[in-house]
Amino acid sequence: MRDKLFARLKGLVSPEQTVICAVSGGADSVAMLHILLSVSRELDLRIEAAHFNHRLRGAESDRDEAFVRSLCEKWNIPLHLGSADVAARAEQTGESIEEAARKLRYAFFESLNKTVATAHTADDNLETVLLNLLRGTSLKGLCGIPEKRGSIIRPMLGVTRAEIECYLEQNELSHVEDSTNAENDCVRNRLRHQVVPLLKEENPSLSESILRMSALLSQDEAYLQGLADEALLRAKDESGYRCCELVQLPEALRTRAVRTMLSSIHVPKLSASHIHAVDRLLFSADPSAAVSLPGGFLAAREYDRLLVQPETAPDSFQPVQLPLNGSVRIPELSLLVQTQFIEKYDPGEKYFSTFLCRYDMIDKIKSLQIRPRATSDCITLPAGKRSLKKLFIDRKIPLSRRALIPVITDGSQILAVYSVGVSADHVPIAGESAVSIIFESLGKTEKEEK
C-alpha cells in the first residue's frame, strides 16, 4: 500500500512542498498520515495535520479531537484545529447535515492556504458513484471523486479499506471509530452495509473496477468540457453570450456550456431542471424571455444575447433635476451627469460631451430633468418624429432595459435620449449658445460603495 501512495504522490506534489493531512482519527486518515510521514524524506515534503470538529457527536467528537492531538504530539507533527456548529448551520440554511458538514470542513481546509490531502479511498469512490446513480447523474457523476481539485489531493483513491485495515494491523496503529458509521440512517451507510456487499459477491474487485471506469470516463468528460469551454468563449461578448452561437452546438456541449456559464457566477444548488430551462431559453422566440434561478439570479434573453445576472437589478430609476452648470448622480444606474453652459458652440472643437443641446430652445421657467421613458414620449429625428417605444423596438433595446434609459427633458419637451441622441430640433449650430450634458460611469452604485 505504501508503494501505491508513493507512486500517486509523485504526480500530485512537488519537492519542498507542505502537505497537510486531513485527519479525523479514523482508520483511513491515520494510515494516510503514517504513510506520508514515511515517504516525506524521499519526496522532500513537510507533513502537517488538520482536524475539524463538527460538534455533532458530543463527547465522541471531543474524543476524536483529543486522539488526533495526542497522535500528532507523539509523531511530532504540527496540527491545525478547526470546529463549527454544523447542526446550527444546517438549520439556518436548510442544507442536510452531511452537506453543511462538508461545506464547513472544506472552508476550513481552504483557509489553511496549503495543499490538503484527504483520505478518500477506492471504496469511497464506489459509494459516491452509486449515490450519483441513485439520484440520476450525468457523465460527470460517473467520474466519481477527483484525485485533485484545487488545493485538495486524494492520494488514497487507489487503495481499498481492506488494504488499510491490513496496513494498520501490520504497523500496530490504533484509531478511533465513528459510531454513526454503523447506523443505517443515511443513504451512504445503507449502500455500504447492504448494497455493496451484494455487488461484491458478483465482483470482489468492484471498487477497483469502478475506479478504473471513473478514470476512463474522466478523460471523456475532460475532453467534452474543453470543447464546451471553447464554444462558450467564442459566444461571449461584452455583457453576455450570443444565442446564435450556442444554439448551433450539439446538446452534449451546449448543456455543458450552460452549466459552466451558471457555475462561473456561483449560482447555488443547480439542478438538471435549471440547466434545461436555461438551455430552452436559448431557443425562445420571445426576445425578452427570462428564467429565475436559485440564489436570486436571473437568466434573460435580450434579443440574441443571453444574460445571467442578479434578479435584484434595478428595473427603473428616480427622476433627478439637472442644474444648468453642475452635476447630479443617478445611483441606480451608477451614473454621474454633468452640465455646462457653452456661450458659443464651435463644431470644430472637440467636446467630450455625450449631448449638446440648443440653449435658446430650453424652457428656462421649468428645469432640466432626467427621467425614465413615459408612455407617450416621442423624439424628432432627421427622418421625422418617432415614439420612443417603436424606436426602442426597432433598435432591439431589451424590454428590461427600456425603463433604465435616461430621457432628458426641460419639462415641456424631450431634448435628448441616452443611447439614441439629441432631438433634431435641439441640435445647436455654430455660434449659438448650448448646454453640454456629460454622462460618466461611476463604476459602482452608491449602495455598493457603502
The tens digit of pLDDT for each residue in 363-413 reads: 765 678 899 988 888 998 888 888 898 888 887 777 777 888 889 988 888
- Predicted local distance difference test score (pLDDT) of residue 1: 87
Question: Which contacts qualify for 447-450: CB closer than 8 Å, 24 or more apart?
Answer: 447/331
Return d(Cα 28, Cα 165) in angstroms, integer: 8
CA dist list (Å): 431 to 342, 344, 358, 434:
10, 5, 11, 9
The x, y and z cell numbers of residue 101, run together, are 458538514
Sign of the C-alpha dihedral, residues 98, 100, 104, 110?
Answer: positive
Work out the mean pLDDT of the chain and round it to a whole number.
88
What does the pLDDT look like over 297-355, one tens digit per residue? 889 898 899 988 776 656 788 888 888 788 888 888 888 888 888 888 877 655 545 68
Check whether 447 has a pLDDT greater than 80: no
- Predicted local distance difference test score (pLDDT) of residue 366: 62
The x, y and z cell numbers of residue 234, run together, are 467564442
What does the pLDDT look like over 183-206, one tens digit per residue? 888 898 999 999 999 999 999 999
- Predicted local distance difference test score (pLDDT) of residue 83: 93
Vertex 31, ends 110 and 102: CA angle to 5°? 30
Q: Which residue has the higher pLDDT, 400 or 448?
A: 400
Considering the entire predicted model, what is its pTM?
A: 0.69
Per-residue pLDDT, averaged over 245-254, amounts to 95
What does the pLDDT look like over 209-247, one tens digit per residue? 999 999 999 999 999 999 999 999 999 987 789 999 999
Task: Categorize the per-residue pLDDT at 16 as very low, low, confident or very high, splitting at 50, 70 and 90.
Answer: very high
CA dist list (Å): 241 to 9, 41, 57, 147, 258:
40, 51, 48, 32, 10
Check whether 144 has a pLDDT greater than 80: yes
Check whether 146 has a pLDDT greater than 60: yes
- Predicted local distance difference test score (pLDDT) of residue 158: 93
The rounded percent of the chain whose pLDDT value lies above 70 is 95
What does the pLDDT look like over 22-46, one tens digit per residue? 999 999 999 999 999 999 999 999 9
- Predicted local distance difference test score (pLDDT) of residue 445: 37
Check whether 95 has a pLDDT greater than 50: yes
